[in-house]
Chains A and B, each alone.
Chain A
């Protein structure tokens, strides 16, 4: 497989007849168009649904979207580094848990900046454990990761009881208050934490490292076809170790972010499954940094809206309808259309419209999950042709293939 094949796999392309179609194929052109289109849709929905608080497009909501997307983004990027190196890492959740405890402990002792770095190292430790089990010992990736997910809360509970119980305000289940990283005032978004900015800087950085450096090429080779890489002199084990440790470090950073920026305290169970959603984000993003960032922002938007404005969730139903309608239309126009691919989104969109017209609000029990269900529905129909790294999940032993 050529270098080109590794980078631009599975981009649906139409032949470049007109200039616009040619432009459309350029990623730098498409993303702003998507963003602008999304904002227009939101604005239209806001006019039609007319919620009192106008939260769909407010600055506060934009800030919340950024805040809530960061843990998912970092976990997603972490998952990407591991799977690009061929190791499936569903242990992100456990590594994130380690990150929360170590981040809090470091912050309490040395302040938030060094504390965040310690949280990152805590996550990397979890990654190292996963790498030792899967790369050196050839343990099934899922088994090892599940073990880490079960072990991490036990370890942190033990550590919290040993260390945080000695502090005023600390206990077996929580740390004393942790200071935040500090924030900067930006237009529209209000206060944005420095750590948020750093997290989003990882998106282009991850792209550069994986697709523009020798290290990245070899790492991806280990994940696509380890034997081929091995035959060309790539030390597959070393790159897999690197990928998984980086993965754990990013998950640990996500944990630190939850502690210092989202809450200001370590509390048991505060990761709340974000590691797994981060993994879904990575798949949504087709194992690429830009797509992962987009997925994280989508989930973050839904999370923030669900908390800030329950009426807004009702209006969000209309957004789902628009997206589904566009998808159905696109399928209908494509030459390879099937009845299911066109019909199902159309039927679901119709059902949502009926529901929207019959009820003024989303029932509270359903409210919490509505954004996620909507995102999942959109995900299922827009997934199209995902392309995971070929060697991901495979246990590779040198000389046996």
Chain B
């Protein structure tokens, strides 16, 4: 009996330890945010630096709050991280980062946490739009920037909105797909059915029809708002990709954040099982260079959305005291969007693509932002 009791105590201890470990797990993530202890020295002078533009004696510090998938999504958030890394390397900027919990309920808190120690804070992703606006109004001495987001209220005077002409880049993807397709059917997978992603579909469809008016474009969205799990569901992305390949599409473009990885798996699986090779088109980053080598040979090209350029330029501007609040548009003309050539799969059509690109920049082709 005695022996039995001590055994139980041991187990109870073990269980408690596990719980403690779990609790640490959650904390650990959040405490990475204010990691840089050198920041406070700068913060006192930085607000002045942002508005009155004195010479930047030492580099500012920057806070980055990613979208729920976080750094390592091989897509959108990684592009933002690359901009931060570049700023660290070239400007000596120190930056701290944070990732919201899975349901994104602590976005505002993480932004505030970053604003406490940094004179410039980024929110990466359109879901930040309203929260960052609120935090910006509450912290008028700190500069804020949000990628992709337009708040529903009037934006705060210290908030920069970094927006991209995704429809222009997607137009090039549609043209590339139509030029390369042998079946005359291509596909589009959107993560969540919101205006931002519909812009991708509109540009993609218009670009494909510019090359081949009779082309069939299959389009599907993984989830409907307010369910935003469509950006984080590679399983569902893979199944939709497989069904599009089954239906005769030979090139599918995914604007679905982390779910795009599932499409690459689908392209690989379908190509290995069937007798014809099918392609996927990546988004945001040059995904050929980021994904696992096992699937990269199925990535025709990627629509580059230079979130890294936007992040870097904004940090550079703020660092030299030239932070510009309000709308900052990154389009084809300033290389804010574009296409990748890694892998060499589009080498035979780069002439056509450059031609179209020039026409878009000159205004000869006007790319629609919504579906006809």
- Residue numbers of A with Cβ under 8 A of B are 53, 55, 58, 60, 64, 67-68, 129, 132-133, 136-137, 147, 151, 153-159, 161, 164-165, 169-174, 176-177, 179, 185, 190-191, 258, 262-265, 267-270, 272, 304, 307-310, 364-365, 367-368
* Whole-angstrom distance between the Cβ of A110 and the nearest chain B Cβ: 17
29 CB-based A-B contacts, threshold 8 Å: A60-B243, A60-B246, A67-B239, A151-B19, A151-B22, A154-B25, A155-B21, A155-B25, A158-B25, A161-B28, A169-B74, A170-B72, A172-B99, A174-B72, A177-B261, A177-B295, A179-B294, A185-B273, A263-B238, A263-B261, A263-B262, A264-B261, A265-B234, A269-B232, A308-B239, A308-B240, A308-B246, A368-B224, A368-B227
Q: Evaluate contact between A262 and B235: CB separation under 8 angstroms.
A: yes
In the complex, which residue of chain B has the Cβ closest to the Cβ of A170?
Answer: B72
Q: Evaluate contact between B247 and A155: CB separation under 8 angstroms.
A: no
In the complex, which residue of chain A has the Cβ closest to the Cβ of B295?
Answer: A177
User: Among the listed A60, A137, A177, which residue makes an inter-chain contact with B291, where contact means beta carbons less than 8 Å apart?
Assistant: A177
* Whole-angstrom distance between the Cβ of B268 and the nearest chain A Cβ: 9
User: Among the listed B25, B102, B247, which residue makes an inter-chain contact with A159, where contact means beta carbons less than 8 Å apart?
Assistant: B25
- Residues A132 and B11 in contact in the complex (CB < 8 Å), given A265-B234, A309-B243: yes
Task: Say whether B8 faces chain A, with CB atoms less than 8 Å apart.
Answer: yes
Measured between beta carbons, the chain B residues less than 8 angstroms from A263 are: 234-235, 238, 261-262, 265
Q: Evaluate contact between A310 and B246: CB separation under 8 angstroms.
A: no
Q: Evaluate contact between B8 and A157: CB separation under 8 angstroms.
A: no
Measured between beta carbons, the chain B residues less than 8 angstroms from A191 are: 269, 273
Cα A185 to Cα B224 with chains together (Å)? 34
Q: Evaluate contact between B229 and A272: CB separation under 8 angstroms.
A: yes
Cα A60 to Cα B222 with chains together (Å)? 18
Cα A170 to Cα B74 with chains together (Å)? 9
User: Among the listed A67, A133, A173, which residue makes an inter-chain contact with B70, where contact means beta carbons less than 8 Å apart?
Assistant: A173
Q: Evaluate contact between B29 and A64: CB separation under 8 angstroms.
A: no
Interface flags, B221-256, vs A, CB<8A=1, else 0: 111100101001111101110110011000000000
Measured between beta carbons, the chain A residues less than 8 angstroms from B139 are: none
Measured between beta carbons, the chain B residues less than 8 angstroms from A262 are: 235, 238
Cα A240 to Cα B102 with chains together (Å)? 34
* Whole-angstrom distance between the Cβ of A370 and the nearest chain B Cβ: 12
Interface size on B, residues (CB 8 A): 54
Task: Say whether B168 faces chain A, with CB atoms less than 8 Å apart.
Answer: no
Task: Say whether B361 faces chain A, with CB atoms less than 8 Å apart.
Answer: no
Measured between beta carbons, the chain B residues less than 8 angstroms from A129 are: 15, 18
Contacts A171-B73, A176-B292, A310-B220 known; 19 new A-B pairs at CB < 8 A: A60-B242, A129-B18, A147-B19, A151-B18, A158-B26, A172-B71, A172-B72, A172-B99, A173-B70, A174-B72, A177-B294, A185-B273, A191-B269, A263-B238, A263-B261, A269-B102, A270-B234, A307-B222, A367-B224
Q: Evaluate contact between A307 and B18: CB separation under 8 angstroms.
A: no
User: Among the listed A136, A159, A169, which residue makes an inter-chain contact with B8, where contact means beta carbons less than 8 Å apart?
Assistant: A136
* Whole-angstrom distance between the Cβ of A72 and the nearest chain B Cβ: 13
In the complex, which residue of chain B has the Cβ closest to the Cβ of A61?
Answer: B243
- Residues A268 and B19 in contact in the complex (CB < 8 Å), given A157-B26, A169-B292, A174-B73: no
Q: Evaluate contact between A307 and B243: CB separation under 8 angstroms.
A: yes
Q: Evaluate contact between B71 and A171: CB separation under 8 angstroms.
A: yes
Cα A159 to Cα B25 with chains together (Å)? 7
* Whole-angstrom distance between the Cβ of B50 and the nearest chain A Cβ: 30
Q: Evaluate contact between B72 and A307: CB separation under 8 angstroms.
A: no
In the complex, which residue of chain A has the Cβ closest to the Cβ of B243?
Answer: A308
- Residues A173 and B72 in contact in the complex (CB < 8 Å), given A191-B273, A264-B261: yes
In the complex, which residue of chain B has the Cβ closest to the Cβ of A310?
Answer: B220
* Whole-angstrom distance between the Cβ of B250 and the nearest chain A Cβ: 16
User: Among the listed B15, B239, B246, which residue makes an inter-chain contact with A133, where contact means beta carbons less than 8 Å apart?
Assistant: B15
User: Among the listed A157, A177, A367, which residue makes an inter-chain contact with B29, where contact means beta carbons less than 8 Å apart?
Assistant: A157
Cα A19 to Cα B234 with chains together (Å)? 51
Q: Evaluate contact between A307 and B240: CB separation under 8 angstroms.
A: yes
Task: Say whether B69 faces chain A, with CB atoms less than 8 Å apart.
Answer: yes
User: Among the listed A67, A171, A368, which residue makes an inter-chain contact with B72, where contact means beta carbons less than 8 Å apart?
Assistant: A171
In the complex, which residue of chain B has the Cβ closest to the Cβ of A363?
Answer: B224
- Residues A365 and B224 in contact in the complex (CB < 8 Å), given A155-B18, A161-B25, A258-B235: yes
Task: Say whether B207 faces chain A, with CB atoms less than 8 Å apart.
Answer: no
* Whole-angstrom distance between the Cβ of A171 and the nearest chain B Cβ: 2
Measured between beta carbons, the chain A residues less than 8 angstroms from B234 are: 263-265, 267, 270
Measured between beta carbons, the chain A residues less than 8 angstroms from B19 are: 147, 151
User: Among the listed A169, A267, A309, which residue makes an inter-chain contact with B290, where contact means beta carbons less than 8 Å apart?
Assistant: A169
